[in-house]
Amino acid sequence: MNCSTRHASSSTYPRQIIFSGIQPTGIPHLGNYFGALQQWVKIQNGATSTTDVIFSIVDLHAMTLPYDPAQLRLWKRQTLAALLAVGLDPQRSIIFFQSSVPAHSELMWVLSCTASVGYLSRMTQWKSKLALSDNVALSDPDAKMKLKLALFSYPVLQAADILLYRATHVPVGYDQAQHLEFAREIAKSFNKAHGHFFTEPQTVMSPAKRMMSLKNPRLKMSKSHEDPRSRILLDDSSDDIRMKIKAALTDSMDGVSYDMVERPGISNLLTLMAYMDERQRSVEQIASEGQALSLRAFKEQVAETIIKGIANIKEKYDYFIDTPQRHYLQDVAVLGHGKARLKADETMRQVREIIGTDDI
């Protein structure tokens, strides 16, 4: 993928730098794959010699809500194995754990000095994470009781993640577009206070449609849903996939048709099938050819298409996550850490000179 038409290159920093991150929440599901990971692989494979491609497993972000350290450690391994399984190549992309590069936290503090509390208070992510309404204020008793500083300020850390590598383009899903706008605002604030230094990164929106929950097709597919049958993971067995698709919420209407308003469940299954269809048919074509099918027969087709579609990814994931490959995962993490830290340290050297915290 070439994003150069969307960003005029600078004479000082002519390289295109693409950065994105993923929280380690365990094995990715199909929504993660189609919404982000598949696009990351396309970006990597289409990158030229003048493009840096950087992907971070943002484990510090996973600490903003109560968590189990042992589980986080496992999730980090699973996420790294999944990134390799879907096709990311540590020789072509920089793949690293955010916490292994201390400059992320240092730059967050620097950016916090010009970040607006008012702007942060209007952002919706912390409200949704705490199950609060979008219009709740910081003065609300519920917000005061539940909200922790890390969750409130994590968009500042997210901005630091991006700006630390002087990213020109950031692939994001719809949910993260607001945070990238904040990153641009905080870059402007720093530049206004200290002179122009940070590039304002451009958004690269995922072209994929949202994958919806199999149990509630009006909600996006998410690991936060209490029913594990609501999502298909990249390492699910064939039997698990068949069971989840069979149990997917649909409707009582006859036949197969695509209508996200009237038939969201069937439409979601059609979308899943279209993304993995070997013949690359559209949802409308699949619906037209299958309009006479019973729901049972249609669900069987969807399940077999998904099983075949992720078979290669599952095989690679099972290989990478296997205990004997632990050292390989560690080697990949060390390689990525070294490359990321070189870039981060150079940015921070210049930032310290600008703000006056360099050596006297």
Catalytic machinery residues: 129, 220, 223
Question: Are 225 and 213 contacting, i.e. CB atoms less than 8 angstroms apart?
Answer: yes
Render 202-235 in DSSP notation, one character per residue: EEEE--SPPPBPSS-TTSB--TTSS-GGG--BTT
Question: Are 35 and 211 contacting, i.e. CB atoms less than 8 angstroms apart?
Answer: yes
Return the sign of the alpha-carbon dihedral for residues 61, 339, 195, 109: positive
Question: From the DSSP assignment, how many helices (H) and strands (E) are in the chain?
Answer: 14, 5
Q: Supply 334's token pair.
A: 């060390």
Question: Please, what's the largest Cα pairwise distance for the chain?
Answer: 77
Alpha carbons 19 and 52: distance in angstroms, whole number: 8
Q: Write the CA distances from 164 to 18, 45, 124, 143, integer angstroms.
A: 12, 23, 24, 31
Cα radius of gyration (the chain): 22
